[in-house]
Amino acid sequence: KNEVEQSPQNLTAQEGEFITINCSYSVGISALHWLQQHPGGGIVSLFMLSSGKKKHGRLIATINIQEKHSSLHITASHPRDSAVYICAVPSNTGNQFYFGTGTSLTVIP
Amino acid sequence: GAVVSQHPSRVICKSGTSVKIECRSLDFQATTMFWYRQFPKQSLMLMATSNEGSKATYEQGVEKDKFLINHASLTLSTLTVTSAHPEDSSFYICSAGPGGFNEKLFFGSGTQLSVL
Phi/psi of residue B45, nearest 5 degrees: -120, 120
Residue B101, pLDDT score:
59
Q: Of A45, A58, A36, which Cα lies nearest the Cα of B1?
A: A45
State whether residue A79 is helix, strand or coil: helix
Residues of A with CB under 8 A from a CB of B: 30-31, 33, 35, 40-45, 48, 50, 86, 88, 90, 94-97, 99-102, 104
Shortest CA distance from A85: residue in chain B: B43
Residue B52, pLDDT score:
86
CA distance B73 to chain A (A): 20
pLDDT digits (tens, 9 = 90+) for B25-84: 998 888 889 999 998 888 888 899 888 888 899 998 999 999 999 998 889 999 999 999
* Cβ-defined contact of B104 to A48 (cutoff 8 Å): yes
For a pLDDT cut of 90, what percent of chain A falls above it? 71
Residue A94, pLDDT score:
63
Q: What string of DSSP letters covers chain B?
A: ---EEEE-SEEEE-TT--EEEEEEESSS--SEEEEEEE-TT---EEEEEEETTSPPEEPTT--TTTEEEEEEETTEEEEEE-S--GGG-EEEEEEE-TT-TTS--EE---EEEEE-
Q: In angstroms, rounded to a whole number, what is the distance separating the alpha carbons of residues A36 and B5? A: 17
Contacts of A30 in chain B (CB under 8 A): 101-102
Q: In angstroms, rounded to a whole number, what is the distance separating the alpha carbons of residues B32 and B48? A: 10
- pLDDT, average across residues A90-102: 79
Q: In angstroms, rounded to a whole number, what is the distance separating the alpha carbons of residues B91 and A63? A: 30
pLDDT digits (tens, 9 = 90+) for A32-81: 999 999 888 889 999 999 899 999 999 999 999 889 999 999 999 999 99
CA-based Rg of chain B, rounded to a whole angstrom? 13
Q: In angstroms, rounded to a whole number, what is the distance separating the alpha carbons of residues B19 and B66? A: 11
- pLDDT, average across residues B20-28: 92
Q: Which residue has the higher pLDDT, A84 or B103?
A: A84
Q: Which residue has the higher pLDDT, B88 or A29?
A: B88
Contacts of A88 in chain B (CB under 8 A): 105
Q: In angstroms, rounded to a whole number, what is the distance separating the alpha carbons of residues B65 and B62? A: 9
Q: What string of DSSP letters covers A5-31?
A: EEE-SEEEEETT--EEEEEEE-S--S-
Select from A33, A95, A99 the Cβ nearest to the Cβ of B49. A95
CB of B93 within 8 A of CB of A32? no
CA distance B17 to chain A (A): 24
